[in-house]
Chain A
Amino acid sequence: MNGLLRSAVVIVGLSLAAAMVIALLQLPSAAVHLPALVAENLAQSGVEHPVTAVLLNFRGWDTLLEVAVLLLALLTLLTLGGGKAPAPAAAVDPLLQGLARRMLPLIVLTAGYLLWAGAHRPGGAFQAGAVLAAGAVFLQLAGLLPAWTAPRRWLRLGLVLGFLVFLAVAAALLGQGALLRYPPALAGGLILLIEAGLTLSLGLILAGLFLFLTGRDA
Protein backbone atom coordinates (compact mmCIF):
# COMPACT_ATOMS: atom_id res chain seq x y z
CA MET A 1 0.00 0.00 0.00
CA ASN A 2 2.71 2.41 1.04
CA GLY A 3 4.86 1.39 -1.93
CA LEU A 4 1.92 1.91 -4.26
CA LEU A 5 1.28 5.40 -2.89
CA ARG A 6 4.96 6.24 -3.19
CA SER A 7 5.22 5.22 -6.84
CA ALA A 8 1.93 6.97 -7.66
CA VAL A 9 3.22 10.22 -6.11
CA VAL A 10 6.53 9.91 -7.97
CA ILE A 11 4.76 9.35 -11.32
CA VAL A 12 2.32 12.25 -10.78
CA GLY A 13 5.17 14.50 -9.62
CA LEU A 14 7.32 13.71 -12.66
CA SER A 15 4.43 14.34 -15.07
CA LEU A 16 3.64 17.62 -13.30
CA ALA A 17 7.29 18.68 -13.59
CA ALA A 18 7.40 17.74 -17.30
CA ALA A 19 4.17 19.64 -18.00
CA MET A 20 5.38 22.75 -16.17
CA VAL A 21 8.78 22.71 -17.91
CA ILE A 22 7.11 22.44 -21.34
CA ALA A 23 4.70 25.26 -20.42
CA LEU A 24 7.52 27.52 -19.21
CA LEU A 25 9.57 26.94 -22.36
CA GLN A 26 6.64 27.68 -24.68
CA LEU A 27 5.37 30.78 -22.90
CA PRO A 28 5.28 33.88 -25.16
CA SER A 29 6.70 37.15 -23.81
CA ALA A 30 4.45 39.18 -21.54
CA ALA A 31 2.00 41.57 -23.23
CA VAL A 32 2.46 44.23 -20.54
CA HIS A 33 6.00 45.33 -19.85
CA LEU A 34 5.95 45.98 -16.10
CA PRO A 35 9.59 47.14 -15.58
CA ALA A 36 9.05 49.96 -18.11
CA LEU A 37 5.81 51.01 -16.39
CA VAL A 38 7.57 51.12 -13.02
CA ALA A 39 10.50 53.12 -14.42
CA GLU A 40 8.08 55.58 -16.06
CA ASN A 41 6.22 56.33 -12.82
CA LEU A 42 9.18 56.09 -10.44
CA ALA A 43 9.69 59.87 -10.42
CA GLN A 44 6.31 60.53 -8.76
CA SER A 45 6.43 57.62 -6.32
CA GLY A 46 8.41 59.51 -3.66
CA VAL A 47 11.30 57.01 -3.56
CA GLU A 48 14.12 56.15 -5.95
CA HIS A 49 14.34 52.40 -5.38
CA PRO A 50 11.89 50.54 -7.66
CA VAL A 51 11.20 47.62 -5.27
CA THR A 52 10.30 50.00 -2.42
CA ALA A 53 8.16 52.02 -4.83
CA VAL A 54 6.21 48.88 -5.79
CA LEU A 55 5.87 47.71 -2.18
CA LEU A 56 4.75 50.94 -0.54
CA ASN A 57 3.23 52.90 -3.40
CA PHE A 58 2.13 51.08 -6.57
CA ARG A 59 1.01 47.95 -4.72
CA GLY A 60 0.61 49.42 -1.22
CA TRP A 61 -2.64 47.46 -0.91
CA ASP A 62 -0.82 44.13 -0.89
CA THR A 63 1.59 45.28 1.78
CA LEU A 64 -1.22 46.60 3.99
CA LEU A 65 -3.04 43.27 3.80
CA GLU A 66 0.22 41.37 4.32
CA VAL A 67 0.80 43.10 7.64
CA ALA A 68 -2.76 42.18 8.60
CA VAL A 69 -2.00 38.54 7.71
CA LEU A 70 1.11 38.60 9.91
CA LEU A 71 -0.90 39.99 12.83
CA LEU A 72 -3.53 37.28 12.32
CA ALA A 73 -0.88 34.56 12.32
CA LEU A 74 0.54 35.87 15.60
CA LEU A 75 -2.95 36.15 17.17
CA THR A 76 -3.75 32.57 16.16
CA LEU A 77 -0.47 31.45 17.68
CA LEU A 78 -1.40 33.22 20.93
CA THR A 79 -4.83 31.52 21.07
CA LEU A 80 -3.23 28.07 20.83
CA GLY A 81 -2.74 28.36 24.58
CA GLY A 82 -0.47 26.28 26.69
CA GLY A 83 1.00 29.54 27.96
CA LYS A 84 2.80 28.28 31.01
CA ALA A 85 5.39 30.42 32.69
CA PRO A 86 8.51 30.11 30.52
CA ALA A 87 11.38 28.13 31.93
CA PRO A 88 14.08 30.32 33.48
CA ALA A 89 16.96 30.91 31.12
CA ALA A 90 19.55 28.17 31.37
CA ALA A 91 23.11 29.04 32.32
CA VAL A 92 24.66 30.44 29.17
CA ASP A 93 28.25 30.96 28.15
CA PRO A 94 29.33 34.40 29.49
CA LEU A 95 31.26 34.91 26.26
CA LEU A 96 28.00 34.63 24.28
CA GLN A 97 26.32 37.10 26.63
CA GLY A 98 29.17 39.58 26.27
CA LEU A 99 29.03 39.23 22.49
CA ALA A 100 25.25 39.73 22.50
CA ARG A 101 25.58 42.88 24.62
CA ARG A 102 28.14 44.35 22.24
CA MET A 103 26.25 43.26 19.11
CA LEU A 104 22.93 44.79 20.15
CA PRO A 105 23.75 48.45 19.30
CA LEU A 106 25.21 47.30 15.96
CA ILE A 107 22.03 45.32 15.18
CA VAL A 108 19.83 48.33 15.95
CA LEU A 109 22.12 50.57 13.88
CA THR A 110 21.98 48.12 10.94
CA ALA A 111 18.18 48.04 11.11
CA GLY A 112 18.04 51.84 11.14
CA TYR A 113 20.39 52.03 8.17
CA LEU A 114 18.36 49.45 6.20
CA LEU A 115 15.17 51.42 6.88
CA TRP A 116 16.73 54.67 5.69
CA ALA A 117 18.48 53.06 2.70
CA GLY A 118 15.20 51.60 1.42
CA ALA A 119 14.28 54.89 -0.24
CA HIS A 120 17.10 54.76 -2.78
CA ARG A 121 18.84 51.36 -2.69
CA PRO A 122 18.13 47.75 -1.62
CA GLY A 123 16.72 47.73 1.90
CA GLY A 124 13.52 48.81 3.59
CA ALA A 125 11.06 48.00 6.34
CA PHE A 126 10.98 44.25 5.75
CA GLN A 127 14.71 43.69 5.95
CA ALA A 128 15.07 46.12 8.87
CA GLY A 129 12.26 44.37 10.75
CA ALA A 130 13.85 40.98 10.09
CA VAL A 131 17.19 42.20 11.44
CA LEU A 132 15.50 43.58 14.59
CA ALA A 133 13.68 40.27 15.11
CA ALA A 134 16.90 38.31 14.63
CA GLY A 135 18.49 40.55 17.28
CA ALA A 136 15.70 39.77 19.75
CA VAL A 137 16.02 36.03 19.08
CA PHE A 138 19.79 36.31 19.60
CA LEU A 139 19.23 38.03 22.96
CA GLN A 140 16.84 35.27 24.01
CA LEU A 141 19.30 32.55 23.02
CA ALA A 142 22.01 34.33 25.00
CA GLY A 143 19.74 34.27 28.07
CA LEU A 144 19.39 38.06 28.25
CA LEU A 145 15.74 38.30 27.22
CA PRO A 146 13.09 36.03 28.79
CA ALA A 147 10.55 34.31 26.53
CA TRP A 148 7.22 36.16 26.27
CA THR A 149 4.00 34.82 27.80
CA ALA A 150 1.10 37.18 27.11
CA PRO A 151 1.56 40.63 25.57
CA ARG A 152 0.92 43.57 27.93
CA ARG A 153 -0.30 46.96 26.86
CA TRP A 154 2.93 48.42 25.44
CA LEU A 155 3.82 45.27 23.55
CA ARG A 156 0.30 45.07 22.09
CA LEU A 157 0.59 48.68 20.96
CA GLY A 158 3.96 47.98 19.34
CA LEU A 159 2.63 44.89 17.56
CA VAL A 160 -0.24 46.76 15.89
CA LEU A 161 1.42 50.18 15.48
CA GLY A 162 2.69 49.56 11.94
CA PHE A 163 -0.68 48.31 10.74
CA LEU A 164 -2.53 51.21 12.42
CA VAL A 165 -0.20 53.85 10.96
CA PHE A 166 -0.57 52.29 7.50
CA LEU A 167 -4.36 52.13 7.89
CA ALA A 168 -4.54 55.73 9.17
CA VAL A 169 -2.58 56.99 6.15
CA ALA A 170 -4.82 54.97 3.83
CA ALA A 171 -7.95 56.35 5.52
CA ALA A 172 -6.68 59.94 5.50
CA LEU A 173 -6.00 59.70 1.77
CA LEU A 174 -9.39 58.21 0.88
CA GLY A 175 -10.56 61.72 0.04
CA GLN A 176 -8.21 61.62 -2.96
CA GLY A 177 -10.56 59.15 -4.61
CA ALA A 178 -8.43 56.01 -4.58
CA LEU A 179 -6.98 53.83 -1.84
CA LEU A 180 -3.34 54.63 -1.03
CA ARG A 181 -2.72 57.08 -3.84
CA TYR A 182 -0.28 59.53 -2.25
CA PRO A 183 0.02 63.11 -3.48
CA PRO A 184 3.49 63.13 -5.14
CA ALA A 185 4.75 66.01 -2.97
CA LEU A 186 4.03 64.14 0.27
CA ALA A 187 4.76 60.60 -0.94
CA GLY A 188 8.36 60.40 0.28
CA GLY A 189 7.53 61.52 3.82
CA LEU A 190 4.42 59.33 4.09
CA ILE A 191 6.32 56.26 2.89
CA LEU A 192 9.07 56.88 5.43
CA LEU A 193 6.46 57.28 8.20
CA ILE A 194 4.74 54.03 7.23
CA GLU A 195 8.04 52.21 6.90
CA ALA A 196 9.23 53.35 10.33
CA GLY A 197 6.04 52.01 11.92
CA LEU A 198 6.28 48.80 9.90
CA THR A 199 9.90 48.22 10.91
CA LEU A 200 9.04 48.35 14.62
CA SER A 201 5.91 46.22 14.26
CA LEU A 202 7.41 43.66 11.89
CA GLY A 203 10.40 43.32 14.20
CA LEU A 204 8.12 42.71 17.19
CA ILE A 205 5.78 40.36 15.29
CA LEU A 206 8.59 38.25 13.83
CA ALA A 207 10.37 38.17 17.20
CA GLY A 208 7.05 37.30 18.84
CA LEU A 209 6.62 34.29 16.55
CA PHE A 210 9.74 32.87 18.19
CA LEU A 211 9.50 34.32 21.70
CA PHE A 212 5.88 33.30 22.32
CA LEU A 213 6.58 29.76 21.14
CA THR A 214 9.87 29.00 22.80
CA GLY A 215 9.86 27.44 26.23
CA ARG A 216 6.07 27.07 26.13
CA ASP A 217 5.68 23.29 26.27
CA ALA A 218 9.22 22.04 26.67
Chain B
Amino acid sequence: MEYLKLLGIVIIVVGFALKWDTTAVVVVSAIVTALFSGMSVMELLNTLGTAFMTNRPVSLFFLTLPMIGLAERYGLKEVAVNGIRKLKKMTPSRILNLYLAVRELGGVFGISLSGQVQFVRPLITPMVTAAAEVRRKLTPKDIDLIKGRAAAVDNFGNFFAQNLFVASGSVLLISSTMESLKYTVTPIQVVTRSIPVALVTLVIVYIYNVLFDRRFKATKGAA
Protein backbone atom coordinates (compact mmCIF):
# COMPACT_ATOMS: atom_id res chain seq x y z
CA MET B 1 0.00 0.00 0.00
CA GLU B 2 2.19 2.77 -1.33
CA TYR B 3 -0.45 5.43 -0.68
CA LEU B 4 -0.42 4.92 3.09
CA LYS B 5 2.69 7.06 3.38
CA LEU B 6 0.58 10.02 2.28
CA LEU B 7 -1.13 9.69 5.67
CA GLY B 8 1.64 11.96 7.01
CA ILE B 9 0.30 14.82 4.86
CA VAL B 10 -3.24 14.13 6.09
CA ILE B 11 -2.03 14.26 9.70
CA ILE B 12 -0.29 17.61 9.12
CA VAL B 13 -3.30 19.17 7.41
CA VAL B 14 -5.87 17.87 9.89
CA GLY B 15 -3.66 18.45 12.93
CA PHE B 16 -2.93 22.08 12.09
CA ALA B 17 -6.55 22.71 11.06
CA LEU B 18 -7.84 21.30 14.36
CA LYS B 19 -5.21 23.24 16.37
CA TRP B 20 -3.57 20.20 17.90
CA ASP B 21 -0.17 20.86 19.44
CA THR B 22 1.99 21.75 16.43
CA THR B 23 5.23 20.17 17.69
CA ALA B 24 3.48 16.88 18.39
CA VAL B 25 1.67 16.91 15.03
CA VAL B 26 4.92 17.36 13.09
CA VAL B 27 6.76 14.62 14.98
CA VAL B 28 3.84 12.17 14.64
CA SER B 29 3.55 12.94 10.92
CA ALA B 30 7.27 12.23 10.45
CA ILE B 31 6.99 8.91 12.33
CA VAL B 32 3.90 7.78 10.38
CA THR B 33 5.40 8.75 7.01
CA ALA B 34 8.66 6.95 7.73
CA LEU B 35 7.06 3.76 9.04
CA PHE B 36 4.51 3.48 6.19
CA SER B 37 7.28 3.95 3.63
CA GLY B 38 8.80 0.74 4.96
CA MET B 39 11.54 2.01 7.26
CA SER B 40 12.49 0.02 10.36
CA VAL B 41 12.42 1.74 13.75
CA MET B 42 16.19 2.14 13.65
CA GLU B 43 16.07 3.62 10.13
CA LEU B 44 13.32 5.98 11.31
CA LEU B 45 15.42 7.23 14.24
CA ASN B 46 18.47 7.65 12.02
CA THR B 47 16.53 9.50 9.30
CA LEU B 48 14.89 11.77 11.85
CA GLY B 49 18.18 12.52 13.65
CA THR B 50 20.12 13.13 10.44
CA ALA B 51 17.41 15.39 9.04
CA PHE B 52 17.22 17.40 12.25
CA MET B 53 21.00 17.85 12.32
CA THR B 54 21.25 18.98 8.69
CA ASN B 55 18.44 21.47 9.29
CA ARG B 56 20.10 23.17 12.26
CA PRO B 57 20.77 26.35 10.21
CA VAL B 58 17.03 27.10 10.46
CA SER B 59 17.51 27.77 14.18
CA LEU B 60 20.46 30.16 13.80
CA PHE B 61 18.04 32.99 14.58
CA PHE B 62 18.32 31.98 18.26
CA LEU B 63 21.70 33.76 18.22
CA THR B 64 19.95 37.07 17.59
CA LEU B 65 17.70 36.80 20.67
CA PRO B 66 20.08 38.10 23.41
CA MET B 67 20.72 41.32 21.47
CA ILE B 68 17.02 41.90 20.77
CA GLY B 69 16.19 41.21 24.42
CA LEU B 70 18.66 43.84 25.61
CA ALA B 71 17.57 46.40 23.02
CA GLU B 72 13.97 45.92 24.19
CA ARG B 73 15.00 46.53 27.77
CA TYR B 74 16.71 49.76 26.73
CA GLY B 75 13.67 51.23 25.04
CA LEU B 76 13.53 49.81 21.48
CA LYS B 77 9.71 49.73 21.55
CA GLU B 78 9.38 53.11 23.29
CA VAL B 79 11.58 54.87 20.73
CA ALA B 80 9.45 53.49 17.89
CA VAL B 81 6.20 54.45 19.66
CA ASN B 82 7.44 57.99 20.35
CA GLY B 83 8.50 58.36 16.73
CA ILE B 84 5.11 57.32 15.39
CA ARG B 85 3.29 59.50 17.93
CA LYS B 86 4.88 62.56 16.31
CA LEU B 87 2.75 61.94 13.22
CA LYS B 88 -0.29 63.83 14.56
CA LYS B 89 -2.50 65.85 12.23
CA MET B 90 -2.24 63.53 9.28
CA THR B 91 -4.78 61.86 7.05
CA PRO B 92 -5.72 58.24 7.84
CA SER B 93 -3.88 56.98 4.76
CA ARG B 94 -0.64 58.83 5.63
CA ILE B 95 -0.52 57.29 9.09
CA LEU B 96 -1.28 53.82 7.71
CA ASN B 97 1.30 54.16 4.92
CA LEU B 98 4.01 55.44 7.21
CA TYR B 99 3.34 52.56 9.56
CA LEU B 100 3.54 50.16 6.61
CA ALA B 101 6.92 51.65 5.62
CA VAL B 102 8.19 51.41 9.20
CA ARG B 103 7.05 47.79 9.41
CA GLU B 104 8.73 46.86 6.10
CA LEU B 105 11.93 48.68 7.07
CA GLY B 106 11.89 46.82 10.39
CA GLY B 107 11.61 43.59 8.41
CA VAL B 108 14.81 44.44 6.50
CA PHE B 109 16.73 44.68 9.76
CA GLY B 110 15.12 41.71 11.43
CA ILE B 111 13.21 43.80 13.95
CA SER B 112 9.97 41.91 14.39
CA LEU B 113 7.92 43.50 17.13
CA SER B 114 4.54 42.01 17.90
CA GLY B 115 2.82 44.74 15.96
CA GLN B 116 -0.80 43.96 16.78
CA VAL B 117 -0.22 44.11 20.52
CA GLN B 118 2.42 46.81 20.74
CA PHE B 119 1.43 49.18 17.94
CA VAL B 120 -1.96 48.59 16.29
CA ARG B 121 -4.18 48.46 19.36
CA PRO B 122 -2.55 51.16 21.51
CA LEU B 123 -1.32 53.50 18.77
CA ILE B 124 -2.24 53.06 15.11
CA THR B 125 -5.98 52.48 15.48
CA PRO B 126 -6.52 55.43 17.86
CA MET B 127 -4.45 57.74 15.62
CA VAL B 128 -6.26 56.73 12.42
CA THR B 129 -9.61 57.06 14.19
CA ALA B 130 -8.70 60.55 15.37
CA ALA B 131 -7.54 61.55 11.89
CA ALA B 132 -10.80 60.32 10.35
CA GLU B 133 -12.97 61.95 13.02
CA VAL B 134 -11.61 65.39 12.11
CA ARG B 135 -13.30 64.96 8.73
CA ARG B 136 -16.71 63.70 9.69
CA LYS B 137 -18.67 61.97 12.44
CA LEU B 138 -17.85 58.27 12.53
CA THR B 139 -20.41 55.49 12.77
CA PRO B 140 -19.65 52.33 14.80
CA LYS B 141 -19.22 50.57 11.45
CA ASP B 142 -16.55 53.09 10.38
CA ILE B 143 -14.66 52.49 13.58
CA ASP B 144 -14.82 48.72 13.07
CA LEU B 145 -13.48 49.18 9.53
CA ILE B 146 -10.62 51.32 10.79
CA LYS B 147 -9.68 48.68 13.36
CA GLY B 148 -9.71 46.01 10.67
CA ARG B 149 -7.67 48.13 8.28
CA ALA B 150 -5.00 49.00 10.87
CA ALA B 151 -4.59 45.32 11.76
CA ALA B 152 -4.47 44.39 8.08
CA VAL B 153 -1.71 46.93 7.33
CA ASP B 154 0.37 45.48 10.15
CA ASN B 155 0.01 42.00 8.65
CA PHE B 156 0.88 43.23 5.12
CA GLY B 157 4.08 44.88 6.29
CA ASN B 158 5.00 42.01 8.57
CA PHE B 159 4.44 39.19 6.07
CA PHE B 160 5.84 40.53 2.85
CA ALA B 161 9.01 42.11 4.25
CA GLN B 162 10.15 39.44 6.69
CA ASN B 163 11.95 37.56 3.92
CA LEU B 164 14.23 40.58 3.45
CA PHE B 165 16.32 39.70 6.51
CA VAL B 166 18.91 36.92 6.03
CA ALA B 167 18.47 35.50 9.52
CA SER B 168 14.66 35.49 9.64
CA GLY B 169 13.04 32.16 10.43
CA SER B 170 11.23 32.06 7.08
CA VAL B 171 14.37 32.66 4.99
CA LEU B 172 16.32 30.01 6.88
CA LEU B 173 13.40 27.59 6.57
CA ILE B 174 13.18 28.10 2.80
CA SER B 175 16.93 27.63 2.36
CA SER B 176 17.10 24.56 4.55
CA THR B 177 13.98 22.88 3.13
CA MET B 178 15.33 23.33 -0.40
CA GLU B 179 18.62 21.77 0.74
CA SER B 180 16.62 18.78 2.08
CA LEU B 181 14.91 18.56 -1.30
CA LYS B 182 18.35 18.46 -2.97
CA TYR B 183 18.46 22.01 -4.35
CA THR B 184 21.00 24.57 -3.15
CA VAL B 185 19.37 27.88 -2.27
CA THR B 186 21.34 30.31 -0.08
CA PRO B 187 19.63 32.70 2.37
CA ILE B 188 21.00 35.68 0.40
CA GLN B 189 19.36 34.35 -2.76
CA VAL B 190 16.03 34.07 -0.95
CA VAL B 191 16.39 37.69 0.21
CA THR B 192 17.13 39.07 -3.26
CA ARG B 193 14.26 37.06 -4.82
CA SER B 194 11.89 38.46 -2.19
CA ILE B 195 12.56 42.13 -3.01
CA PRO B 196 10.04 42.40 -5.90
CA VAL B 197 7.16 41.10 -3.77
CA ALA B 198 8.02 43.45 -0.91
CA LEU B 199 8.07 46.46 -3.28
CA VAL B 200 4.85 45.47 -5.05
CA THR B 201 3.15 45.10 -1.66
CA LEU B 202 4.31 48.58 -0.67
CA VAL B 203 2.85 50.12 -3.83
CA ILE B 204 -0.45 48.22 -3.88
CA VAL B 205 -1.18 48.75 -0.19
CA TYR B 206 -0.24 52.44 -0.56
CA ILE B 207 -2.93 52.86 -3.22
CA TYR B 208 -5.38 50.78 -1.18
CA ASN B 209 -4.89 53.10 1.80
CA VAL B 210 -5.21 56.27 -0.26
CA LEU B 211 -8.57 54.96 -1.51
CA PHE B 212 -9.55 54.41 2.14
CA ASP B 213 -9.36 58.19 2.72
CA ARG B 214 -12.23 58.72 0.26
CA ARG B 215 -14.59 56.97 2.60
CA PHE B 216 -14.13 59.76 5.10
CA LYS B 217 -14.30 62.63 2.62
CA ALA B 218 -17.42 61.60 0.75
CA THR B 219 -20.12 62.63 3.21
CA LYS B 220 -18.41 65.80 4.40
CA GLY B 221 -20.56 68.04 2.22
CA ALA B 222 -23.74 66.28 3.23
CA ALA B 223 -23.38 67.15 6.92
Do A and B come from the same complex? no
Tell me the A residues contacting B by CB distance below 8 Å. Answer: none
